[in-house]
Amino acid sequence: MSDYTLLRDISLIWSLFHVLILFIAFYESRYPRRKTFILTGIFMGGLLVLLSILIFIKGALWVSNAALVICTLPSLIFFYIMSGQRDGRFVFTFCLVDTVSLWLMTLTMVLSYWFTPDTYWVLFFGRLIGFPAFEYLAWRRLRRPYLEVQRAVAKGWFSFAAVSAVFYILLFVASLYPVSIYENPDNIPVILLLLILMPLMYWNIFQVIVRQQRLADAEEKARILHLQSVMIQQRIEQTMEAEKQISIHRHDMHHRLQTINTMLENGEINEAQNYIKNSHESLTDTRSSHWCMHPVLDAVFSAYFRKAEAEGIRIEADMGIPADLPVDAVELSTVFANALENAIHAVSKLPQEQRVIRCRCICQPQLMFYVSNPYTGKVKFDENNRPVADSTLHGIGTHSIAAYCEKHGAVCEYSAENGWFSIQIVQTIWTK
């Protein structure tokens, strides 16, 4: 084996190793980070050792042609077991990483054929530099928005994955099967077209996905705004009804005072006391409960607390919010609505005696709002310490809350300790 062939084989092992690193950058494991790295290191480390042995025994071309069976399928099964998203999102991510890696490997093959066809120096250094450079871009710039898009958009990924898989097959056949481009350079024009088309394909796919995310965000905001308008209208109607009842009782007060006066003149003390007690209870029934001074936020709290009480949930709330609040009340009410909706959704699954939601809000010296509720099971957090959505626990609306915090410089912290899940938001709103 010549030194130049050794460069080719080392570059192939290097490439296969970095394919794994790229995939880890773009998927979310269902297990904690430490356990994920340990299991991935054991399984994929063993697979890399096996591939390295086969490269030196069978040759790089044989391993490349058999990569689908001896590398792609085992890693597909392993990461599927590890993945927290076992649907089209996982399939697309797997196809994306494999296709991008094959794209980079094919590009270095073409460049090596043009410039150093007999030495593999361009192939070796191209992969040596190319994979770490793309990994840096993936981890620093692409990972976070990609994972956020996956959390926000759950449908439509299978069709994108199918397109990606077809490109992978086309690129694999054109560049490696049945022989590499070194032995069949006539395929280079086709390969160049595929190398140009693939970035364009992914650009358009991500544009579609981002538009879907924006549409989903817009629909959520529209739903919240509609709910807010309905709640405010209900609050107005409740207030008007209470004022109407108070007006009626005020009108009747003159007659009641005369009746009480007559009872006292006749010495009917007990009867007068009972009459006063019944009148007091009648007036109490007309009282309109208020949770805070700000009308918009008060409407939100009233609606969600009323919804919670309908679910048999006890509310322990202290909402110290003034009428004059120097923040966008509509945007802030969306945060409150999402947090309370998540809490109600979680607590409604618990036994009746455990159904309680605790809320508190203060506005000086900073705006601080927290919601806390009991939970069962296990709450999973992502790398940003946000709860990952599932069918029973929190997660709905966390994207909207995160967007508000990022826009207004607020800090949002989630915790799940001792059977209680909490969200706390702190925002500086007062300037000294």
Identify whether residues 111 and 233 lie together within a single domain. Answer: no
Query: Poorest-confidence range of 66-70, 79-83, 259-263?
Result: 259-263
Model confidence band, residue 243 (pLDDT cutoffs 50, 70, 90) = low
Q: What percent of the chain has pLDDT over 90?
A: 7
Identify whether residues 26 and 173 lie together within a single domain. Answer: yes
Q: What is the DSSP letter of 70?
A: I
Identify whether residues 177 and 138 lie together within a single domain. Answer: yes
The predicted pLDDT at position 394 comes to 43
Nearest to residue 22, comparing CAs of 111, 105, 98?
A: 98
Identify whether residues 118 and 209 lie together within a single domain. Answer: yes
- Which distant-in-sequence residues (6+ apart) come within 8 Å of 428 by Cβ? 366, 367, 409
The answer to whether position 416 is within a domain reads yes
Q: What's the rounded Cα separation, in Å, for the pair 422 and 339?
A: 10
What is this structure's pTM?
Answer: 0.59
Each residue's pLDDT tens digit, 265-294: 777 777 777 777 776 655 555 445 677 888
Q: What's the rounded Cα separation, in Å, for the pair 429 and 19?
A: 46
Of residues 111 and 151, more confidence is placed in 111
- Give the DSSP H or E segment for 397: none
The predicted pLDDT at position 393 comes to 41
| Longest alpha-carbon distance in the chain | 123
Q: What's the rounded Cα separation, in Å, for the pair 99 and 95?
A: 6
Q: Is 411 helix (H, G, I), strand (E, B) or coil?
A: strand
How many other CB atoms sit within 10 Å of the CB of residue 36?
17
- Give the DSSP H or E segment for 372: strand 367-374
Query: Poorest-confidence range of 166-170, 217-221, 352-356?
Result: 217-221
Question: b vs e for 253-291, b when ≥16 Cβ sit within 10 Å of the residue's Cβ?
Answer: eeeeeeebeebeeeeeeeebeeeeeebeeeeeeeeeeeb
Rg (CA), the chain: 32
Each residue's pLDDT tens digit, 406-432: 888 888 899 888 889 999 999 887 544
The predicted pLDDT at position 55 comes to 80
Q: What's the rounded Cα separation, in Å, for the pair 190 and 181?
A: 11
Model confidence band, residue 372 (pLDDT cutoffs 50, 70, 90) = very high
pLDDT of 1 strictly over 50: no
Identify whether residues 180 and 267 lie together within a single domain. Answer: no
The predicted pLDDT at position 423 comes to 92
Identify whether residues 209 and 227 lie together within a single domain. Answer: no
Q: Which residues pair with 275 in a beta bridge?
A: none
Q: How many domains does the chain have?
A: 3
The arithmetic mean of pLDDT across residues 23-48, rounded, is: 83
The answer to whether position 289 is within a domain reads no
Helices (H) and strands (E) in the chain — how many of each? 14, 5
Q: How far is CA 269 from CA 96, 263, 273, 276, 379, in A?
A: 86, 7, 6, 11, 62
The answer to whether position 12 is within a domain reads yes
Phi-psi domain of 120 (left: phi exceeds 0; alpha: psi -120 through 50; beta: other): left
Of residues 104 and 153, more confidence is placed in 104
Amino acid in position 70? I
Joined tokens for residue 162 = 């199918």
Highest mean pLDDT among 81-95, 207-221, 222-236, 266-280: 81-95
The answer to whether position 272 is within a domain reads yes
Q: What's the rounded Cα separation, in Å, for the pair 107 and 122?
A: 10
Q: What CATH number did the domain enclosing 410 receive?
A: 3.30.565.10
Mean model confidence pLDDT for the chain:
80
pLDDT of 329 strictly over 90: no
The answer to whether position 290 is within a domain reads no
pLDDT of 356 strictly over 90: yes
pLDDT of 167 strictly over 80: yes
The predicted pLDDT at position 113 comes to 86
β-pairing, 314-319 with 356-362?
parallel
The predicted pLDDT at position 16 comes to 80
How many other CB atoms sit within 10 Å of the CB of residue 136?
10
The answer to whether position 200 is within a domain reads yes
- Do the beta carbons of residue 88 and residue 33 sit within 8 Å? no
Q: Report the first-to-last Cα separation within the chain, whole angstroms.
A: 75
Nearest to residue 399, comparing CAs of 221, 275, 230, 242?
A: 221
Identify whether residues 210 and 73 lie together within a single domain. Answer: yes
The answer to whether position 31 is within a domain reads yes
The predicted pLDDT at position 43 comes to 86
Q: What is the residue range of 329's domain?
A: 295-427
Identify whether residues 249 and 140 lie together within a single domain. Answer: no
Each residue's pLDDT tens digit, 83-142: 878 888 888 888 888 888 889 988 998 898 888 877 888 888 999 999 999 989 888 888
β-pairing, 356-362 with 367-374?
antiparallel
